[in-house]
Amino acid sequence: MKTPAVLVTVIRQNPQAIFALARAHGPLLVATGLLLVGFGHYLAPGWWGLLALPWWFNRDRTKAGAPGWAWALVALLGAGSTLVGSQAPAFLFSVGAWWLVAQGPGHRLSYLPGLGLLTASTLAGYLGTLISVPLRLHLGQVAAAGLRVMGLPAQAQGNLIQWADHEFLVDAGCAGLAMLGVSTWLGLSLLAWVERTAGRTLGLATIGAYLLGLAGLNLLANLFRIWLLVILPAPAGTLLHEGLGLARWGLYVLAPATWFTARWVGRAQQAAPNVAPPPARRLLPGWATVGLLAALGLRVAFAPQHAADDQTITQIKPWPGYQTRPFGTEVLQLSKPGVLAYVKPIAGFYGGTHEALICWRGSGYHLAQVQLAQVAGREIFTGVLAKGGQRFHTAWWYHNGQQCHTSQWAWRLDVLRGAPPYRVVNVSATTPGLLHQAVAEAFSGLVVK
């Protein structure tokens, strides 16, 4: 008997069982399919982290359904997605709706699967890139101060630590800082161990405190690692350099986290048995939530992306001596011999930015020696771009024709208070002197018409 005929026979003989199975798991399967079709590109880079998703999928039968605030938050994200025309809120809504669909009428699903989807996404990677610059700068300063306390006259120039003839670059790509993502994955998996043992799901506050503790251990381990790499020394790319990164992670993160969680699990095993409450109905049936998810996906997919408010290139004052080349109606490229500059829009306080760290990395360049510097009387980020034998000096900041900021939070708060919209300004040059001159010219030309 062929396979289709077998399936037809099974369905005819067990219609009620098949209907019950579709009713119980159909909404989640369809919601998962919609999430993958609409935002699979968001999850593709971190696919390996999602291998633990079944382990995170724990249910608490002492609680019935998702809390009311979760429904309100997902509804707010859905409304915001249709208004701002940005994919980031739509992705957050889709993950939230998927988590709500996975709830049962007589139990509550753990927060861990939803958090795992978020931490495995490109959105988490983007946010990590944004905080990596100030994090590396502060870590370099603290490491240099610690070395001086030890009696070593070390100095920090941005994320570059110098002592005698030894140098160490606190770089985002090294094994130390790269293990932050692995630590998050480890934390979610250890928390799932606690939930499975206790038969209860953990609250967001408990999960957040645990993950923050892991992040603190990771930063402390990075600090010890920097001291060792500077004193030994162990240049980047060597086996010792990478081996010390993995060893310190195992000693200062993996070992204490596992020890603490094991004690936590031991206490959970002694807890009183769970008493399940009577089943409660969800606020919306699973298929209704799936319908809302599909409708929003179509709305975001076919709606035109909102242009950045008041960001057209015609509003940028021309820079004397520069050739201009527009990309669409918003991004402006300016160039002259030895200098290349970009002025790029930001779509409101909620929008992502064309960060130099991300854009240049996508072009194959490595950005090093990042630091805050005073150029032309303003505080901006500077660094060195390297690709093969090419080497350029670069600078970037946020500007709205009136104010200049290097902090993501500062310019976003400024816009919320009613300030004009900001742009990312990135200037690169072949020499430091030419860069300083170009930055001064940029500030004189960044006046909105």
Q: How far apart are CA 115 and CA 113, in angstroms?
A: 5
pLDDT score of 347: 66
What's the whole-number mean pLDDT along residues 210-216? 91
User: pLDDT tens for residues 329-342?
Assistant: 667 888 899 999 98
Q: How confident is the model at residue 188 (pLDDT cuts 50, 70, 90)?
A: very high
What's the whole-number mean pLDDT along residues 102-110? 80
pLDDT score of 406: 85
Stated length of the chain: 449
Q: Is the pLDDT of residue 278 over 50?
A: no
Q: Is the pLDDT of residue 449 over 50?
A: no
The larger pLDDT score, comparing residue 446 to residue 41, is at 41
The one-letter amino acid code at 313 reads: I
pLDDT score of 170: 67
Bond into 345 cis (ω within 30)? no
pLDDT score of 177: 55
Q: Is the pLDDT of residue 10 over 70?
A: no
Q: Is the pLDDT of residue 113 over 90?
A: yes
What's the whole-number mean pLDDT along residues 53-67? 84
In 3D space, the residue among 237, 20, 230 whose CA is nearest the CA of residue 145 turns out to be 230
What's the whole-number mean pLDDT along residues 88-117? 85
User: pLDDT tens for residues 224-261?
Assistant: 888 887 777 766 667 776 777 778 788 888 899 999 99
pLDDT score of 430: 92
Helix 175-198 and helix 122-149, axial crossing angle in degrees, nearest 10: 110
- Tokens for 70, please give them: 């979760």
Helix 3-13 and helix 15-43, axial crossing angle in degrees, nearest 10: 120
Of the ranges 21-30, 363-372, 390-399, which one carries the lowest mean pLDDT score?
21-30
In 3D space, the residue among 175, 173, 155, 174 whose CA is nearest the CA of residue 165 turns out to be 155
Of the ranges 30-34, 83-87, 202-206, 215-219, which one carries the lowest mean pLDDT score?
83-87
What residues contact residue 93 under an 8 Å CB cut-off, 6+ apart? 74, 77, 78, 80, 81, 293, 296
Average pLDDT, rounded, for the chain: 76
Please, which contacts does 76-81 make with residues 24 or more away whose CB atoms are closer than 8 Å?
Answer: 78/292, 78/296, 81/296, 81/299, 81/300
In 3D space, the residue among 82, 90, 81, 113 whose CA is nearest the CA of residue 100 turns out to be 113
Q: For the beta carbon of residue 257, count every other beta carbon within 10 angstroms.
A: 19
User: pLDDT tens for residues 126-158?
Assistant: 777 667 767 777 788 888 888 888 888 888 776
pLDDT score of 306: 45
Looking up tokens 């050739």, which residue turns up? 323
Q: How confident is the model at residue 287 (pLDDT cuts 50, 70, 90)?
A: low
Of the ranges 291-300, 302-311, 364-373, which one carries the lowest mean pLDDT score?
302-311
The larger pLDDT score, comparing residue 23 to residue 422, is at 422
pLDDT score of 405: 86
Of the ranges 7-11, 202-206, 360-364, which one carries the lowest mean pLDDT score?
7-11
